[in-house]
Structure formats: structure tokens, C-alpha cells
């Protein structure tokens, strides 16, 4: 909600922003938490990435390479991409902000689905544009609704695929259909933060679409499967003209030397990535099945997390469940801010973490029925 400002006035839209609220990281009583609230990998970063990070301690008096050349080259080699079309940033969040800053202004519109990443609305309002939020269908983006919402004022369409926090995805045929409906001056931003986890034959992260069009960008992150969330590192694959625009407005040293070094090593350590994928492939269906055995609904997920639905009654509802889990030192994510007031999002954790959550939920439900 807007408020009166007596001093310098921010640009229109900024005071309408509700600041992003991260997930909890502590529990009452000072217990060591089982933190499953931020979709962090339970296996940690590659040991090679950690060693590369530590090695940079000997050189922190020097500015990093402002172009992140080594990192762009490593990403390009790993994915078969032209490094000149890769832009690195302080997390994919910064890249979303840069895209909005570059292509939005007063009177413009931005289309995205309900339950989408909260940053979409923040960067839209922060640049004076209007969010146009379409209804989801079965907790996934409704492509037909997004197409119907397009107008001559639409300048950006954001699509997180897979979606966080629902874990749903759109087959790439639908993504292409959405792109085909756009005007040439409307930008499609594919947020593919969880792409490495997806095991579906009809899914693509967006590389080919970016490579063959002038109005599509794919963003990726090192915060999830690569385990570098604390370093804030992301990248975007862009048409050459858009990469040029982003490089004109980003900070000259927006990625630290330690993040560059760790990112290079993380991309190269394919064995660690495969281990992380295998862990998720094993425990995602196990967690889903075990929680459903308790009588709770779980939205089918292709990411490294699950969305758990609770009844609306007070005794067994989401707030009571969250409090109970915290009493067991388990932190999951409330997602009311995403339009899901009766749900908790749980990251797939270690084997012990996953078993602990299922056991705690079983005890919680038994207590609520007593």
C-alpha cells in the first residue's frame, strides 16, 4: 500500500511493493534446525568449488574480472553456448531486475501467472509498470490465460518453468505456443532455476528458443543444484542484442572473484551434479508417497521440493503444522504470499531429514485427531 512521503519521493510503484520475505532460518530454543525452507541442496557444494572459493582468499585485494570471462566460458563449454551471449549476475534475481530496468517503463504491462516467483511483481512495480497476473490451472501456469492477457502494452512475460513453489511445469510445446503469440517487441523471460532437476521428456529449459529468436531470455542459477546460494550467482542466456543491453547497465564488478572461481569449478564437477540429481530422483518420490500415506495432498513436483496441502481446520491446519514442525526443529516454508495459504513447501533434504519430517507430520496429524 502506498504511503505519504514528505522527503524525496521514490518513483511510482515502488511504495506499492511488499518487500520479499525469505524463509525462516532459526527455531525457538536455540536448537540446530533441519532447514528445508529455501530449496537448498542437501548435499552442499562441490568440494572442488569450495576449494576454488578458498583459494581466492589470497587475492581478495584485487577487483574481479568485470566480464566474468572464465565463468562465461565454463558455462558455454558445459552447455554448448556462445559465451558472448551469456551475462552473469549476483543471482538470477539481479538479472531479472536488469531485464525489467532495461525494458519496462510507465504504462507498460508485465504478464505472469499467479503462484509465480514474487520477484516478478517486485521488479515490475519497481520500474513503474503494471503487473498482469493470470489465473493458474491445476497449480500450473495457464498458457491460454497468459496469451489472452497480452496487449500492445505488454513488454515482458515472465514464466518460471518449473514453478516455485508448486513444483509444476509446462511442456515446451506450450512455451513455444506462448512465445509465438508475442509481438516481436515483447520479451519472454524463462526462469529455469530448477531445470537440472527435471526428468520429463517434454521439458526444455529454453536454450534452443533463445538461440533461434530475438525476444527470449533464459535465466539460471547456481543457488540450487550447484549449492552456491551463499555466493549469489546466476546467469542469463540472451540474444546478442539483449546481452549487449544488460552489459551496459549492470554493475562493472557485479560478480565477485570468489563466486567466479567457485562457479567455474562447480560447472566442471559433473559427477557432483549427477550425484545431486540421483539423490533427488530417489527421495522426491519417497517423500511424496510417504506424506500422501498420511492423508495429506502433495502436488506432483519436478523440482527439489514438494508443496504439501493442509486442511483449513485449525487443529490440523497449516499454521498449527508449521508451529509443530518448528517445535521439532524443522523449518519449512509458509507460502501464503504466493496465494497458497493452506500449504507448506518442503525442500527435499538428506535421508535423515526427510524421515524426520514424515515422522513429525505423522505425530502432528495424530495429535490433531486425538
pLDDT in tens, 30-74: 778 999 999 999 999 999 999 999 999 999 999 999 999 999 999
pLDDT in tens, 78-88: 999 999 999 99
Residue 253: alpha-carbon gap to chain centroid: 23
Query: Residues 96, 196: one domain?
Result: yes
Q: What is the pLDDT of residue 13?
A: 82
pLDDT in tens, 139-154: 999 999 999 999 999 9
Across the range 300-312, mean pLDDT stands at 96
Residue 5, pLDDT > 60, answer no
Domain presence at residue 5 = no
User: In total, how many domains does the chain have?
Assistant: 2
Domain presence at residue 348 = yes
Query: Residues 284, 221: one domain?
Result: no
* Residue given cell 538428506 in the structure block: 350
Query: Residues 195, 280: one domain?
Result: no
Query: Residues 28, 101: one domain?
Result: no
Are 76 and 235 spatial neighbours (Cβ–Cβ below 8 Å)?
Answer: no
Bridge partners of residue 159, in order along the sequence:
190
Of 219, 253, 268, at which residue does a domain stop? 268
Domain presence at residue 64 = yes
Residue 20, pLDDT > 90, answer no
Of 236, 268, 300, at which residue does a domain stop? 268
Residue with more model confidence, 64 or 18 = 64
Query: Residues 309, 339: one domain?
Result: yes
- pTM value is 0.93
pLDDT in tens, 247-274: 999 999 999 999 999 999 999 999 999 9
Domain presence at residue 7 = no
Residue with more model confidence, 9 or 30 = 9
Residues 6+ apart with CB under 8 A from 275: 43
Query: Residues 102, 200: one domain?
Result: yes
Q: What is the pLDDT of residue 21?
A: 73
Domain presence at residue 275 = yes
Query: Residues 312, 329: one domain?
Result: yes
Domain presence at residue 306 = yes
Residue 193, pLDDT > 90, answer yes
* Residue given cell 518449473 in the structure block: 162
Q: Quote the cell numbers at residue 111.
A: 504478464
Query: Residues 261, 275: one domain?
Result: no
369 confidence band (pLDDT: 50, 70, 90): low
Q: What is the pLDDT of residue 103?
A: 98
Q: What is the pLDDT of residue 4?
A: 58
Residue 139: alpha-carbon gap to chain centroid: 16
d(CA 81, CA 317): 47
Query: Residues 127, 228: one domain?
Result: yes
Are 130 and 161 spatial neighbours (Cβ–Cβ below 8 Å)?
Answer: no
d(CA 58, CA 71): 19
Q: Quote the cell numbers at residue 182.
A: 508475442
Residue 2, pLDDT > 60, answer no
With a pLDDT cut of 70, the percent of the chain lying above it is: 96
Bridge partners of residue 305, in order along the sequence:
347
Q: Specify the range with the lowest mean pLDDT, choosing from 217-221, 256-260, 312-316, 319-323.
A: 312-316
Q: The domain spanning residue 311 has which CATH number?
A: 3.90.1150.10
d(CA 109, CA 322): 36
Of 249, 268, 287, at which residue does a domain stop? 268
User: What is the span of the domain harbouring residue 176?
Assistant: 47-268
Query: Residues 261, 297: one domain?
Result: no
Domain presence at residue 336 = yes
Residue 370, pLDDT > 70, answer no
Amino acid at each position: 500500500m502506498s504511503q505519504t512521503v514528505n522527503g524525496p519521493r521514490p518513483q511510482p510503484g515502488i511504495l506499492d511493493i511488499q518487500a520479499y520475505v525469505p524463509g525462516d532460518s532459526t527455531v525457538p530454543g536455540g536448537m540446530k534446525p533441519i532447514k528445508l525452507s529455501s530449496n537448498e541442496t542437501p548435499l552442499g557444494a562441490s568440494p572442488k568449488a569450495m576449494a576454488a572459493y578458498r583459494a581466492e582468499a589470497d587475492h581478495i585485494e584485487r577487483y574481479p574480472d568485470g566480464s566474468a570471462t572464465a565463468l562465461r566460458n565454463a558455462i558455454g563449454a558445459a552447455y554448448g553456448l556462445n559465451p558472448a551471449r551469456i551475462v552473469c549476475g549476483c543471482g538470477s534475481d539481479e538479472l531479472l531486475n536488469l531485464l525489467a530496468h532495461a525494458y519496462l517503463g510507465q504504462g507498460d504491462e508485465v504478464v505472469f501467472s499467479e503462484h509465480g516467483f514474487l520477484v516478478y511483481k517486485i521488479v515490475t512495480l519497481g520500474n513503474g509498470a503494471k503487473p498482469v497476473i493470470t489465473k493458474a490451472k491445476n497449480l500450473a501456469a495457464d498458457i491460454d490465460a497468459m496469451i489472452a492477457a497480452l496487449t500492445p502494452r505488454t513488454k515482458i512475460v515472465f514464466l518460471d518453468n518449473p514453478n516455485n513453489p508448486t513444483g509444476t511445469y509446462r511442456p515446451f510445446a506450450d512455451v513455444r505456443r506462448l512465445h509465438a503469440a508475442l509481438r516481436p517487441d515483447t520479451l519472454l523471460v524463462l526462469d529455469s532455476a530448477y531445470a537440472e532437476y527435471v526428468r520429463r521428456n517434454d521439458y526444455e529449459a529454453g536454450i534452443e528458443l533463445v538461440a533461434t529468436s530475438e525476444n527470449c531470455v533464459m535465466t539460471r542459477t547456481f543457488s540450487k543444484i550447484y549449492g552456491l546460494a551463499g555466493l549469489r550467482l546466476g546467469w542469463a542466456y540472451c540474444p546478442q542484442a539483449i546481452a549487449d543491453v544488460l552489459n551496459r547497465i549492470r554493475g562493472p564488478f557485479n560478480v565477485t572473484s570468489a563466486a567466479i572461481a567457485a562457479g567455474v569449478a562447480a560447472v566442471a564437477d559433473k559427477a557432483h551434479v549427477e550425484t545431486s540429481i540421483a539423490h533427488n530422483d530417489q527421495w522426491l518420490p519417497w517423500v511424496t508417497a510417504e506424506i500422501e500415506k498420511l492423508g495429506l495432498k502433495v502436488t506432483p513436483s519436478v523440482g527439489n521440493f514438494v508443496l504439501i496441502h493442509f486442511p483449513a481446520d485449525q487443529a490440523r491446519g497449516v499454521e498449527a503444522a508449521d508451529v509443530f514442525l518448528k517445535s521439532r526443529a524443522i523449518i519449512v516454508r509458509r507460502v501464503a504470499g504466493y496465494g497458497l495459504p493452506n500449504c507448506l513447501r518442503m525442500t527435499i533434504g538428506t535421508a535423515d531429514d526427510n524421515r524426520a519430517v514424515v515422522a513429525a507430520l505423522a505425530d502432528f496429524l495424530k495429535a490433531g485427531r486425538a
